[in-house]
Structure 1
Amino acid sequence: MFGSVRSIIVTFVFCCNMIWRNCPKQLRRYIEKLTERLSGFKRLSGFLNPDIQVLIHEYTGSHLRRHEAYGLVAAYLSVKLPDAKRLKAVMTNENKVMLSMEEYENTTDMFNGVEVKWISGKVPSRASGASYYPEPEQRYYKLKFNECYKKMMTEDYLQHVLKRGREIQAANRQRRLYTNGKSTWTHIVFEHPAKFATLAMEPEKKEEIVEDLLTFIKSKDYYARIGKAWKRGYLLYGPPGTGKSTMIAAMANFLSYDVYDLELTSVKDNTELRKLLTNTTAKSIIVIEDIDCSLDLTGQREKKAEKPAEEPGKVEKKTTPRKEKEESDSKVTLSGLLNFIDGLWSACAGERLIVFTTNHVDKLDPALTRRGRMDKHIELSYCKYEGFKVLAKNYLELEAHPLFQSIEELIQEVEISPADVAENLMPKSAKDGPEQSLRNLICILEETKNSKCREIKDTEINHNAAAI
């Protein structure tokens, strides 16, 4: 009798497991919720469903920052998709394609002879009454395995997934150029070809900048030891056309960093600025171009001009320029920006460069440009002879020419930007050769020199006349 009862129990358990594994998902979820509410049936629920589930969400906390593990799992599963039918394709470097599972799709993986299941899903976004911004969609990956393999899966397998995912992510990484919208970043592929070898500047200065960048990326332990966030600030200043944006592109290509181009005028307030900052990643350059024009952050508050007395019966018309109206909508403050640079929130990602550019460094608030915030100040000035030789090699493939001596003499006497030199070195027609391009540049340099001489002469005449 005992043998018969045991056979009946075994058969019953086997049938229950088979029915449970093959019943519809909606019914299974309903039964799980029902048994969880009834404390007396919790043991029965665990007996019928011995699987353990591990969820890895895309966002953690209050959705301020993307969970790194989510991206690593996605990279790992891109090469582990034998069962998935619905896939998403994204471009990686060298025009390769990386696949990932569509939402509500699943696949299996084997580890040390044990089969596990991965399921992708998402929780729809919903408006939050306490916050101005709605919560983003909560995408997640769910790992399922039998409870008897809990230790092996949580200690060994997950570490294997993260390590392998990091390797795949590094191999397929495609650098991106980000811009900020309404509290979020959007991106395109970063394909700027600039390199330090093609920058029109003195070799000594280029070598100094490269050495500074190499020292930074190797100093993780040093920054941790001295108690500073692993970041470095650069201030690029100089006249228009001197290559500030090209310098940023060369830095990004040299370090293989992403670029976040932050437009301050479109940031609503300091809270949104912090939200944008926490959604940036490590190995990136955060750029604010023309910082002196972005917002009223110069520290030199101009006094409002006194309004003339209004004529009786005359209605004053509002003539606020569109640009000023747009800027007035932003409530980003200098203190908020300083906290962005080196406050508590600046250490949220690590290994980043923060780069400001300006044409008028004297207009910036000293609190913004002091060492510790903008650690290295780099002046990009007018084109010198060494910079001209770099441009001649880039544009004309010339390293020497008889006309170089005339250009060297002229370029020392005039102020001309590298952008203007490059424009005049470009052939104007298919018939123009390298020599014609050099002669065009000489003509421009001579005209600039003569114009400068006339200005100096006129200034002297006016000064003498005023003295008389």
Structure 2
Amino acid sequence: MAAITMAEMWTTVGSTIASFMFVWTIIRQYCPYEVRQLLEKSMHRLMSFFNPYIHVSIHEFMGTRLNCSEAYAAVEAYLSTNSAKSAKRLKLEMEKDSKKIVLTMDEYEKVTDEFQGAEISWVCANPNPGKWNNSQPERRYYNLTFHKRYREMIAESYLEHVMKKGKEIRVKNRQRKLYTNGARDKYAYPRQPMWSNVPFEHPARFESSKDFYARIGKAWKRGYLLYGPPGTGKSTMIAAMANLLNYDVYDLELTAVKDNTELKKLLIEITGKSIIVIEDIDCSLDLTGHRKKKTEKETEDKNEEENKENNLKDREGKGSSKVTLSGLLNFIDGLWSACGGERIIVFTTNYVEKLDPALIRRGRMDKHIELSYCSFEGFKVLAKNYLLVETHPLFDTIDRLMEETKITPADVAEALMRKSPTEDVEKSLSKLIQALGEVKKEAATKKEEEESRVKHQPQ
């Protein structure tokens, strides 16, 4: 009897559902749009009344992809500690020098968390996976679900707990990275990120005054100009700064930036605790103090042809950069430069006299640091590092030669580099003396040629 009653019950339920679906189909086809909207809203309110759960979304990007959400990154780091215990589908991430493997939840995987007696569920979602023709980027998000009785506790305590723990985990697992902006075709690859990166593994470090520089490394934004001949250690200096402060490095290639708008977008996407490097600034675009002068006739003759070429290049995504000096100045200390902190901007150049004074004035570039030719004191540091010696009979000869000629630290290091394990200290120092003699001879030859050229010039 019970079995018959159960069968009848399921038959009744099935008939009711079928009738409802039939009626709903008729309503959707023949009812006016306004009536359908009213019915759908009423149904949604009815379902919401009986549904006791609240949903909160944390999206990866804020606004129109102008900035990556810090909240999303903190949630991702926080959930990585729980994912390995409960999730069934995981993503594995491991970076060099990391203490352990990091497992994060895969898309549409669900994990649960407990906080002050409340059970909370998290789901990682991606609303548009695999849409390669979509000009918009993937907008991943985390969905937080909890019972409405815990609303106050979630809003006031749990979310703050997640943000705090997530940031601590990010700092703990953080690895320095080297970023660069490459030539980018936004039509062929609309979702290609503005910056690409690799792990930053340069060995150069500061070994003295560590506490002093760590004390300076607070929330700041400063500019440094490193100038001097090639081979004097400008790039090595930047690497040492990054390793000391534990900052990422963004190598900005201005010639790959299409215009000032793209430069602004790059600035927005740069994270805090970063060093922004523009090497050989004197060779980047038209940023020198020597302005190009053209007559009106030359401009009119070439105007139409240049416009056609520029339009064609823009359509192909291969146009020349249109970044202006004004755009770069705004990048350094304009209004948009205030959108983030803890950044250091470093320019390097071999010819500081060629730069526009507005670009390197005091206040914009806070420090002008000259990295010049190697001195005898600098040589002794290199000799200690490369040869493990602090004194030698040949040091007097090297001191005298260095006073008479100019040689870069890179050339000194190359001469001191042992070619084989059996090469002794005296042989390495002799190679340096020979190199100094050759440099001195070349300098004397150039001086004679210059004097001869000036002497034979017509008066």
TM-score by length of 1: 0.78
Q: Name the counterpart of 1:20.
A: none
- The answer as to whether partners of 2:255 and 2:321 remain within 8 angstroms in 1 is yes
The equivalent of 2:217 in structure 1 is: 217
**Equivalent pair of 1:50/1:146 in contact (CA under 8 Å):** yes
Superposed displacement of residue 381, structure 1: 0.5
- When residues 79 and 295 of structure 1 are mapped into structure 2, their CA distance, relative to the original with a 3 A threshold, is same
Using the size of structure 2 for normalisation, the TM-score is 0.79
Amino acid at match of 1:409: R
Verify: 1:73 aligned to 2:75, yes or no.
yes
Structure 2 match to 1:388? 379
Report whether the alignment pairs 1:185 with 2:187. Answer: no
The alpha-carbon deviation at position 47 of structure 1 amounts to 3.2
In the alignment, does 2:404 pair up with 1:413? yes
Quick one: structure 1 residues 327 and 146, their matched pair in 2 at CA, closer, same or farther if it must change by over 3 Å? Answer: closer
CA distance in 1, matches of 2:296, 2:422: 60
Per-residue CA deviation, residues 322-377 of structure 1 (Å, 9 max, x unaligned), is xxxx9961111111111111111111110100111111111111111112211111
Q: What SS class does the counterpart of residue 82 from structure 2 fall into?
A: coil
Question: How far off is 1:294 after superposition?
Answer: 1.5
**Structure 1 runs not aligned, ≥5 long:** 1-33, 198-205, 221-229, 308-325
What CA RMSD, in Å, does the superposition of the two structures yield over aligned residues?
A: 3.0
Task: Provide the residue aligned with 2:336 in structure 1.
Answer: 345
Instruction: Give the equivalent residue in structure 1 for 2:206.
Output: 196
Three-state SS of the structure 1 residue aligned to 2:404 is coil
Amino acid at match of 1:65: N
8 Å contact 1:289–1:356 — kept in the other structure?
A: yes
How many angstroms does 1:274 deviate by? 0.9
Cα displacement string for residues 13-67 of structure 1 (whole angstroms, at most 9, x for unaligned residues): xxxxxxxxxxxxxxxxxxxxx9996333344212332111111111101111101
Instruction: Return 5+ residue gaps in structure 2 as ranges.
Output: 1-35, 185-192, 298-316
Q: Which residue of 1 aligns with 2:114?
A: 110
Give me the whole-angstrom Cα distance separating, in 2, the residues matched to 1:154 and 1:331.
Answer: 47
Residue in structure 1 matched with residue 29 of structure 2 by the alignment: none
Change over 3 Å in CA distance of 1:371–1:36 after alignment to 2? farther
Taking the TM superposition and a 5 Å limit, the aligned residue runs for 1:100-139 are: 100-124=104-128, 134-139=135-140
Aligned residue for 1:6?
none
Distance 1:337 1:85, change over 3 A: same
* Letter paired with 1:446: G
SS in 2 for 1:357: strand
Look up the equivalent residue of 1:56 and give its one-letter code: I
CA deviations over 1:126-158 (Å, ceiling 9, x no partner): 99x9xxx93211011111000000010111001
Q: Does 1:269 align with 2:272?
A: no
Choose which of 283, 289, 298 in structure 1 pairs with 2:273. 283
Sequence identity of aligned pairs in percent? 58
Check whether the contact 1:76–1:168 (CA below 8 A) recurs between aligned residues: yes
For residue 99 of structure 1, what is the aligned residue in structure 2?
103
User: Does structure 2 retain, via aligned residues, the 8 Å contact 1:35–1:45?
Assistant: no
Structure 2 counterpart of 1:162 = 163
Give the C-alpha shift of residue 392 in structure 1.
1.0
The alignment of Structure 1 onto Structure 2 pairs a total of residues equal to 396
Structure 1 residue aligned with 2:6: none
> 1:298–1:363: 8 Å Cα contact kept in structure 2?
yes
Secondary structure of 2:379 counterpart:
helix
- Counterpart of 2:414 in structure 1 is 423
The answer as to 2:223 corresponding to 1:233 is yes
